[in-house]
Structure 1
């Protein structure tokens, strides 16, 4: 899946620095101020360090945050980014695209940067920075909600379908789609595009049983794009 590929690249850089500096997981955990389990998540690729934990991890590994997160530049290259300020959380921005049409195949996913969000806004929204990622919309089937090239914020901790919300999902061909879910009175669901041209973008009914088999990546909780 798209996120495991991303995390593996991050974990490789963490392990490489630990090996070079001869730092154990216990020593790294103590330096960063986290549990040994958190370090295990970073080195196994099951989770990413974000925000202030990323800053502390980079300091402990004697490298800059940008290289550690994206692999760009060199470990000792100077990096000053105001988005790492304590008032902001830097959310990983992926090269991944989700289609508002028939699906988008992402052959390769990588972190291409970060997008800063105010921490107090995230708290008000009930969102955790470490459970968020930023991706791109492709296509016009969700116009006017989403237009081609829009940026979307995805909460990957929210995988349970809720009626009226828009989600990032994998379709049957493992392509990424952005669609709204509508619960029917019968108990079934409709996978819907916001575009009102239903000749081009028809509703896709699915049974309650079928919905349980849908691979939901996460809920789309914010979008940004041109006016």
Structure 2
């Protein structure tokens, strides 16, 4: 199979799904699925994430080679895509990650996704500084849902932040909205109003580390 569309069709047929069925699972129409398989349109990143969860081997679809194992890879060791217009992004499950101050690069990569380099650049993102993390729990409902993926810019570690960040708090990775308050303290806010805000006093800042800013959500269309 010498094209992305042909390999996508091959994977769909391997799973025993029709174009309509796979399209529904990925949140696209049968016509869009047909356009992807006929190489008349390139699959988008959120589509690829969705079909990977269904069982499609997206590495094979994009690169023409199958994954030989689930070994741990650091971002600099990620395989280069056959298409130079795509950039590899390591995807991590932050619940599975061990915490305790370890960098994400030492965790097991759950999967590798490939995103259009030009689109990442248009968002002001350097692909070498981007990782994906899976959202766990409902504390950020309204912004991020359980099971969503979010692309995190690791170069954005502003010591005076405002926005949604991946944080290391007391050795535990969390995604929270950060708001600065008087006196140099931070409020860690869960967008789900059922959760209380957490005040981080200046003297406790040593227990908090910014791992990166959450930039792009990839989730199921509800």
TM-score by length of 2: 0.56
**Secondary structure, aligned partner of 1:111:** coil
Relative distance call for 1:164 and 1:84 in structure 2 (3 A) is farther
> Structure 2: how far apart are the matches of 1:106 and 1:155?
18
**Secondary structure, aligned partner of 2:128:** helix
Relative distance call for 1:131 and 1:189 in structure 2 (3 A) is same
Structure 1 residue aligned with 2:209: 215
> Structure 1: how far apart are the matches of 2:140 and 2:159?
18
Relative distance call for 1:215 and 1:209 in structure 2 (3 A) is same
Shift in Å at residue 208 of structure 1? 3.3
Relative distance call for 1:165 and 1:113 in structure 2 (3 A) is same
* Alignment partner of 1:180 out of 168, 177, 185: 177
Q: How much is the aligned-residue C-alpha RMSD, in angstroms?
A: 2.8
**Secondary structure, aligned partner of 2:215:** strand
Indicate if the aligned counterparts of 2:71 and 2:108 stay in contact, CA closer than 8 A.
no
Aligned ranges 1:1-227 → 2 under 5 Å: 70-71=70-71, 84-94=82-92, 96-97=93-94, 104=95, 106-107=97-98, 109-172=107-170, 174-197=171-194, 201-211=195-205, 213-227=207-221
**Secondary structure, aligned partner of 2:205:** helix
Shift in Å at residue 164 of structure 1? 3.1
> Structure 1: how far apart are the matches of 2:96 and 2:172?
5
> Mind listing any 5+ residue stretches in structure 2 that lack a counterpart?
1-64, 73-78, 99-105
**Secondary structure, aligned partner of 2:110:** strand
> Mind listing any 5+ residue stretches in structure 1 that lack a counterpart?
1-63, 73-79, 98-103
- Deviating beyond 6 angstroms after TM superposition, the runs of 4 or more aligned structure 1 residues are none
Aligned length: 144
> Structure 2: how far apart are the matches of 1:182 and 1:84?
42
Structure 2 residue aligned with 1:54: none
Shift in Å at residue 151 of structure 1? 0.5
Indicate if the aligned counterparts of 1:93 and 1:111 stay in contact, CA closer than 8 A.
yes
> Structure 1: how far apart are the matches of 2:203 and 2:68?
44
Structure 1 residue aligned with 2:101: none
Indicate if the aligned counterparts of 1:137 and 1:147 stay in contact, CA closer than 8 A.
yes
Relative distance call for 1:84 and 1:162 in structure 2 (3 A) is farther
> Structure 2: how far apart are the matches of 1:141 and 1:106?
18
